[in-house]
Structure 1
């Protein structure tokens, strides 16, 4: 079963014995909005600020939540923008390949992860 942003925060909330209203008050959002987040029906990803407050109160990794919500960090955004500028002609091909070939995408990510590990 695939983990979603909503499933993860719902489970973490329940693990901590919090109601939706209690967590919503801690995070300073409306409980109906929190319900939409937990059900993956919010329409757009929450702001990075809301994600960080959720991570804090649920003792979750904020960066992982940011990615799971469909956002990227500000640092990653700058790196990505620069990469796109430098490789703008090749980007459509790369995106189509990633979208249309899950095995390619998985292999690509595995290779990048291995390179990142070697660089550290």
Structure 2
């Protein structure tokens, strides 16, 4: 879906359709609109359209979240050998060292942190 135009109230909204006797409906909400005088240039309180410019995290904020999520893994990596395994720790025991919350946090952070700029937060 594309943004076709920015509107600040119901008067210019493409979803505003004429009903009868000077009254208008909102086709998005399927409700009768108050008069323009009552709206005073604002959208109706029941307007279902999303507000413009949802806040998206900046690149530095996304990197910070990703770094925090990966910190336990980076800290552990300093104790690994050339093959990537820590001495005296069985390979099967790696998930014991990191709790499920570490894996869930990293998994949740990756898609948003790696999304192209402008797509994060969707």
Which band: TM-score by shorter chain?
Answer: under 0.3
Higher strand share: 2
- So what's the TM-score if we normalise by structure 1? 0.26
- So what's the TM-score if we normalise by structure 2? 0.26
Q: Highest CA radius of gyration, 1 or 2?
A: 2
